[in-house]
Amino acid sequence: MAARRALTIGLIPGDGIGKEVIPAGRRVLEALPASLGLKFDFIDLKAGWETFEQTGVALPEETVQTLSSCNGGLFGAVSSPTTAVKGYSSPIVALRKRLALYANVRPVKSVATAAKPIDMVIVRENTEDLYVKEEKTYDTPEGKVAEAIKRISERASTNIATIAGEIALRRQKIRASGAPSIHKGPLVTVTHKSNVLSQTDGLFRTAAKAALADPRFSSVAVEEQIVDSMVYKLFRQPEAYDVIVAPNLYGDILSDGAAALVGSLGLVPSANVGKTFALGEPCHGSAPDIQGQGISNPIATIRSAALMLEFLDEEEAAAKIYAAVDANLEEGKLLSPDLGGTAKTEEVVQDILRRL
């Protein structure tokens, strides 16, 4: 049967467990039933610390150019150093800006059998805030001082709130079709710290609320919450959240915290979303503490591949992957050690492939 659609997918494993989980994402895409009519061409691309050590460049220009000609991509993780290294800058942070991937969409969902149901999407602004990485250190008579720019623009805040509103509407449509849900109606929670940062977070707050006041979001309830009490409520009452929209850094921190609530960072996917391109990326990093042992959880990456497909309008294919992963988790027999199991990465992948 001729394929209905050919998708070229750039694969950037990066460092550490990125090299273990990206092949899992690829294999799951390749194993999708032929009846879906999808054909995948994969292109292997380089970025990360190892690439930097080999070539002196962490994000080769060829990677950026090739990726920008692909339909989508999968990014594993990179091992960025915690102290400044001349010439090195985080490739994923750079890629998000270079490819105008303005939204980082991070669904955090518990399995149906969980004691405490959680079903939220964290929509993180992906190009600015402290991630503009404009830092400097200077000497003063009292010693060194370091400063960083926190840049918030009306345009990026409007764009991120708009996609958050659209996601809330889409989730509501799925619920209306009869899908079981813990939420009654669509809700977007605007997160900020504008009680202290009245200009930067203040602009994020007003622009986000103005965007969500658009008549097409009239059915979406909008709440706001200061980020510190947000963490408190997130841990006590996570079921209260539907869609959370946040500036870049808060979104990053909130999503790792939310991952703990559903059992592991190894479960939580993300998609870096642009106007016509999506780059799936597990929320976790390169996990040097477990790399090379064959025990990393591939599910965050497998779900990221599905999320990428959703943003490429291949929702049926995405749903098949989510269902296979959920079945693996709900049965609970082949779980990786981060979830309390003893299964190797390969065994988890095999189990999910079998269920596809």
Ligand X SMILES: NC(=O)C1=CN([C@@H]2O[C@H](COP(=O)(O)OP(=O)(O)OC[C@H]3O[C@@H](n4cnc5c(N)ncnc54)[C@H](O)[C@@H]3O)[C@@H](O)[C@H]2O)C=CC1
Binding region for ligand OOG (CB under 6 A):
78, 80, 90, 92-93, 252, 285
- CB of 154 vs ligand X, minimal distance in Å: 27
Provide Rg for the chain, Cα atoms. 20
**In whole angstroms, what separates CA 291 from the centre of its chain?**
21
In this structure, the dihedral spanned by the alpha carbons of residues 39, 166, 151 and 259, taken in order and rounded to 10 degrees, is -70
Smallest distance from ligand X to CB 80, Å: 4
Task: Give Dmax (Cα) for the chain.
Answer: 74
Binding-site ranges for ligand X (CB under 6 A): 17, 77-80, 92, 265-266, 281, 284-290, 296-297, 300, 338
Report, in Å, the least distance between residue 103 CB and ligand X.
Answer: 15
Toward ligand OOG, which CB reaches closer, 7 or 105? Answer: 105
Task: Report the residue number, 253 or 261, with the smaller CB distance to ligand OOG.
Answer: 253
Tokens (6 digits) for 49: 């610390």
Of 132, 136, 122, 130, nearest in space to 189 by CA = 122
Q: Minimum CB separation from ligand X for residue 20, in Å?
A: 8
For 123, half-sphere exposure in the C-beta direction (CA atoms, 13 angstrom radius) is: 26
Q: How many CB atoms lie within 10 A of CB 75?
A: 29
* Minimum separation from the CB atom of position 104 to ligand OOG (A): 7
290 binds, among ligand X, ligand OOG, none (CB under 5 to 8 A by kind): ligand X
Residue 156 or 222 having the CB closest to ligand OOG:
156
Q: Which does 287 bind (CB under 5 to 8 A by kind): ligand OOG, ligand X, none?
A: ligand X
Identity of the residue, 212 or 254, whose beta carbon is nearer to ligand OOG in the bound complex = 254
- Among ligand X, ligand OOG, none, what binds residue 338 when CB lies within 5 to 8 Å by partner kind? ligand X
Residue 132 Cβ, how far from ligand X at the closest point, in Å? 17
Q: Of 75, 122, 99, 150, which Cα lies nearest the Cα of 305?
A: 75
Number of C-beta neighbours around residue 212 at 10 A: 23
Query: In terms of CB distance, is 55 or 89 closer to ligand X?
Result: 89
CB 209 within 8 A of CB 222: yes
User: Out of ligand X, ligand OOG, none, which partner does residue 93 contact, by CB within 5 to 8 A per kind?
Assistant: ligand OOG
Q: Which is nearer to ligand OOG, 10 or 285 (CB)?
A: 285
Tokens coding 158:
């409007």
Residue 220 CA to residue 186 CA, distance in Å, equals 5
